[in-house]
Structure 1
Amino acid sequence: STVKEQADSLANKYPNTVPIHLNVQEASESLNAVVKEQDVVVSLLPYHLHPIVAKCCIQHQRNMVTSSYCSPAMQALHDRAVDAGITIVNEVGLDPGIDHLLAMEYIDNVHLKGGKIESFVSYCGGLPAPEHSENPLRYKFSWSPRGVLFNALSGAKYVLDGKIIEVPPGALMSSAEPVRFLPGFALEGYPNRDSLIYQEMYGISEAKTVLRGTLRYFGFAET
């Protein structure tokens, strides 16, 4: 297949790399054979496929890392992973991942100095180089296209000046607003999922505004 040919081409550039083409939803024997030969499994599959790989890792006692949000299906495997003596770490990417680290660095620094967080606003997005953003969305799929479109149709929650704002599914793109903190770039942002849970997770219950948002070039939402 074209995918396998591309994988072979990439693998030729790096030693100790063996490309394998398999369907994790159908080829359970092949997946088990691959997983049991590894020390650590890094899953960059669409998020709904992570539990399949995780169950296989639990069976063979192999540690696992993903860059996706920890879904309820993955959280439900916590006790089984503990019993198997393995570690499964989610949200180890850019967003979620590096954004968490940067957020906690600043938040902890403020708290250590006796301060309080009155407002927490964080935007993150994978933006293509301007000269390569010539399509209608002004965007390039750097992760699951299905995931990008699914998120664009989902709802969101955040806190603004002490008031909980809920954006219903299907209305997220209508909530996009210009973002002007990077001079020279025409950007817009919209809420990303449920920001309310991060008041407790980040330890900023005192904050009156808590918003995690997605960053795009201006015109993405309208398109």
Structure 2
Amino acid sequence: MSAVELEPSLELKAKAGELVDSLKGTSLFLVGMNGPMKTKLGMVLADALGYCYFDCDNLVEEAAGGAGPARDFRERDEKGFRESETEVLRQLSSMARLVVCAGDGASQGVTNLSYLRYGISVWVDVPVDIIADEKLKDGVQFPNAQDPLDAFDEAVTELARQYEKMKGGYATADATVSLLKVATKLGYVEVGDVTPEDMALEVLREIEKLTRMKKMMEDAARPF
């Protein structure tokens, strides 16, 4: 994203400013199906909060020697690839003031979920057809497809399969922000009109609810 696209609006800056002290440096972990919206959302949130941004998949790729070797590694040894994801998550969970765009498998398994508990996890719920369209535009290849329509159908089928496998883990997140619900809330005719900043504001509102609830519970636990 360009510097202009990352520049938060006054509304987003104000909301982030209201929350940053109550967060006390707590990191945010974005989980859900990988796609441009999740990535851009993470960057916008990090910029608004004055946090550092990390993408788990990028870190795994760097450790593997690049995107190509990482893809080969995943195809050759899925278990080893997931263990690399877990190690990256372990290292990031020990740090503060981060916005982490977690990989597809970040919310799968007891170990990964325990690392997410070191921060606040948010499920970024984006429809699989939108993710499929974004992946095709980014040049992701689906070798069995004979034409663009076949490629789209194949992408949707594959992503839907992954979604069904992983949605139980995603649902354990502390909060959920749905692209469809944000579009409806804002009165957008097209779901594609929702911006990363729209999503960022909704994430901050959800975090505000969590911090308010935590304070109420802490106050209720204090002796008279």
Q: In terms of Rg, which structure is larger?
A: 1
TM-score, L = length of structure 2 = 0.29
Identify, as 1 or 2, the structure richer in helix. 2
Q: Which has the higher contact order (CA 8 A, sep 6+)?
A: 2
